Amino acid sequence: MTSQEIRQKFLDYFKSKGHLIVPSAPIVLKDDPTLMFSNSGMTQFKDFFLGYKTPTAPRIADTQKCLRVSGKHNDLDDVGRDTYHHTMFEMLGNWSFGDYFKKDAIAFAWELLTEVYGIPKENLYVTIFEGDVSENLERDQDAYDFWKSHISEDRIINGNKKDNFWEMGESGPCGPCSEIHVDLRTPEEKAKVSGLELVNNDHPQVVEVWNLVFMEFNRKADKSLEKLPAQHVDTGMGFERLCMALQGKSSNYDTDVFTPLIAKVEEHSGKKYTGILEDEKDIAIRVVVDHIRAVSFAIADGQLPSNGGAGYVIRRILRRGISYSYRFLGMKEPFLYQLVAVLQEQMGTFFPELEKQGKLVSEVIKSEEESFLRTIENGLIRVEKLIQQTIADGQKVLPTQEVFELYDTYGFPDDLTRIIAEEKGLTIDEKGFEQALNEQKQRSKADSAQKVYDWVTLEEKPENFVGYDKLESETYITRYRKVENKDGEFYQVVLSESPFYPEGGGQVGDKGILENATESFEVLETKKENGLIISLIDGLPKDAGAVFYAKVNVSERKNSQANHSVTHLLHEALREVLGTHVEQKGSFVGPDYLRFDFSHFSKMTEEELALVEDKVNAKIKENIALQEFRNIPIQEALERGAMALFGEKYGDSVRMIQFGTSMELCGGTHVKSTSEIGHFKIVSESSAAAGIRRIEAISGDKAEEYFKNLEKQIAELSQLLKSKDVVRSIEKLMEENTALKSEIDIMKKEKAKGEIGEWKGAYEQKGDKLLLVKRTSLDAGSVKDIVFQLKKEIPTSITVILSDADGKPMITVGVSDDLAGIYQAGALIKDLAKEIHGGGGGNPGFATAGGKNLDGLENAYQKALKL
């Protein structure tokens, strides 16, 4: 059975049991402050478990892309070292939202595994929750009793809270679970040791394949448990492990989920995969084929590699893959990007985003590979210098701070530093490095640390967002909670009627005021969490149950919505000018400016930028009225021509924003007509990543302010130049400047000629060699010309020139060709440059170095005399 057939059989089975089959949610989470990535199949259904939203159907099934590389669920370090952990994996799952519970969930799982897939019953074991006294939780007797009707009691194993009480994080939905384990060992191995002894003991052939979670509780911030409004079922089956079991393999990497990727790596690297667990080459291949899947899906869902947040995690995964391929597969050139085509062929049918975004994904990965390989090459030079200095200092351990700086500042893999050092008979200070790493993590953690208390509920009532129609409203607080961070103590409030737009879709959240007759609080930000609109205020009202007036900061909202509306017009204009391949890849919409990232593979020309600007401003002048469809079926919106963004999760009904021919699915706030935008001005166009361009622009008040500043600058220039024709006056100044530069260059050359004559007679005989050490204030170009001339005209010579031109120390060394085999200019310059706190380099015959310590030139002069 192929992996594609295995996946399809799962979906078909649950469809036959009355489940709605839904597509996978994006792997990257954009509107959940508690998670960066979907780390389990239930993530997209969290609001249903908590009762914040009503599910589209009581029974649902899907295959969900998951990523576990941070926080509590982190499998990154295990990947490659064993045969069954992955960063990105598929989670086959079925859910019941207040419909069936333990009995049916257990029956479905057993029937699918044993009758549909045909796994021998004697190969299966199950676990149940044994209870926990500290939590006042009893043994899951119901699960035990239901399992008894399917499997012998000696195969039902008690499991502790760690293994059999599932929690998605520090807080949130949770409950007892029942795991199904499969024993894939040979009959001979089974005869020696019972599978009972190997369940949950990290045996590579006795693995958990399915987890049935019975959601009954919500874990609160104070660690207490409260009953959920209804009982739910959340199951997750590891697709890769299931394929291993059904294809009769002993490793996930031997299944057809990975073998096509492995074959491509073998083809490019010339290395043969043998499947040996400890073999570094095989570990590297496993790392590469695992990581390329995680990175490809993340990029396809809209998360580009970057230096912060989720983007940093993706960059780290990719760089780990590149590092392993460089070190153990000998791959010095980009090649991971070529695996994307193989992945598309394997998974494109079930995950169309790979087909649609394939070119972009491969371009981004290739660019990241090129960049990181340059980092490695530059790092190798730094490591070599560090090793040479350590040896010269008579030490055996590389300095901890420099090793950590290589890792932290330059991104050079610490294990590669370790390997190179060991080849030279040196080591690194492991404890010191770990301490530096932990200190950095603690600093980072302290910067983002936040303590969030439990909600205090004042009234159980649905909250209502009125911000599309109102900028202020009478309201009251339905719930609040305290928040503590490095800036102090604040309170998050949920309002019965909120005009504050919550951050989302690239648009910043509203700020404003929450006040009544006796109190006033500043609304610092507004966000959305688990379906709730949450505003952060700078204190707790004395009477939290009083009636308040919520007032949005009108000026900021007006500017933000103008910028948001203009991004829609910009998107349409870019597609008209550059082509329909242009798709939005990210945006920021604030009151001061907008940023728009889009797919395009070359720098825009000035003509293209001007044309885009003109098209947008023409739409603004047309005064096109907003057409808003607040609750339109998604299929109808798409048929009308609305743009849907990859990586976004849409419901069955959506909000569509239309300005004439511009139609997009969008939840943001917008102007009533395009004329309210005022004017649109592109400030910059640049590269955001490979295949991604970025436009930053302004509109409305900021555009007006921009042109006023330009007018002011031109007026000031006109006054300085004493001319109304500013352009012609500047051209004239530039012509004069060029002429003066030519005169200066002539004077410099004349001065240099005079110096050459003097310097030729200043060489000192040192045995059978000649040495010139000279101080000067000549510029770098003149010194270089003189040194090259001297090393040609004065045989068997070394020339050292120390310059203080423009108050900056510089040393230049020239070695005549007949001494190049004995003396190296690069080695001499390295030694002398220490005195000026600098560095440099060159070739055996010529080298230069700049520095920071001007006073050090005298020491360098004395040291050079001793050469």
Query: Using CA atoms, how far apart are residues 444 and 438, in angstroms rounded to an integer?
Result: 10
Q: Which residues contact 606 (CB under 8 A, 6 or more apart)?
A: none
Of 497, 511, 499, 507, give the one whose Cα is nearest residue 470. Answer: 499
Q: What distance, in Å, lies between the first and last C-alpha atoms of the chain?
A: 76
In order of 296, 316, 344, 534, 784, the CA distances from 337 in angstroms are 9, 16, 12, 41, 44
Query: Using CA atoms, how far apart are residues 692 and 678, in angstroms rounded to an integer?
Result: 28
Burial environment of residue 383 by CB neighbours within 10 A (0 to 12, 13 to 18, 19 or more): buried
- For residue 801 the two structure tokens come to 């020139």
Of 647, 685, 672, 859, give the one whose Cα is nearest residue 37. Answer: 647
Return contacts of 8-11, CB within 8 angstroms, 24+ apart: 9/116, 9/117, 10/61, 10/63, 10/92, 10/112, 10/237, 11/61, 11/62, 11/63
Beta carbons of 523 and 549 less than 8 angstroms apart: no
Beta carbons of 433 and 427 less than 8 angstroms apart: no
Beta carbons of 330 and 284 less than 8 angstroms apart: no
Q: What strands, in cross-sheet order, belong to the sheet with 797-803?
A: 764-766, 769-776, 797-803, 810-815, 846-850, 839-843
- For residue 340 the two structure tokens come to 């994307």
Beta carbons of 693 and 570 less than 8 angstroms apart: no
> What single DSSP character describes residue 257?
T
- For residue 477 the two structure tokens come to 């607080």
**Mapping DSSP to helix (H, G, I), strand (E, B) and coil, where does residue 398 land?**
strand
Beta carbons of 172 and 46 less than 8 angstroms apart: yes
The single-letter code of the amino acid at 641 is G
Query: Using CA atoms, how far apart are residues 594 and 564, in angstroms rounded to an integer?
Result: 8
- For residue 588 the two structure tokens come to 């920021």
Beta carbons of 730 and 721 less than 8 angstroms apart: yes
Q: Which helix (H) or strand (E) holds 579?
A: none
Beta carbons of 593 and 696 less than 8 angstroms apart: yes
Measured in whole angstroms, the distance separating CA 79 from the mean position of its chain's CA atoms is 19
DSSP states along 472-533: EEEEEEEEEEEEEETTEEEEEEEESEE-PPPSBTTBPPP-EEEE-SS-EEEEEEEEEETTEE
**Angle between helix 400-408 and helix 414-423 axes, rounded to 10 deg:** 140
Q: Which helix (H) or strand (E) holds 213?
A: strand 206-219
**Mapping DSSP to helix (H, G, I), strand (E, B) and coil, where does residue 759 land?**
helix
* Residue numbering of the annotated binding site: 564, 568, 666, 670
The single-letter code of the amino acid at 375 is T
Backbone angles phi, psi at 400, to 5 degrees: -60, -45
Give CA angle at 854 (851, 858), nearest 5°.
110
Query: Using CA atoms, how far apart are residues 285 and 262, in angstroms rounded to an integer?
Result: 7
Q: What is the largest CA-CA distance in the chain?
A: 106
**Sign of the Cα pseudo-torsion (854, 859, 861, 863, in order):** negative
Compute how many other C-beta atoms are within 10 angstroms of the C-beta atom of residue 437. Answer: 14
* Residue numbering of the annotated binding site for Zn(2+): 564, 568, 666, 670
The single-letter code of the amino acid at 418 is R
**Residue owning tokens 């009544």:** 516
**Mapping DSSP to helix (H, G, I), strand (E, B) and coil, where does residue 567 land?**
helix
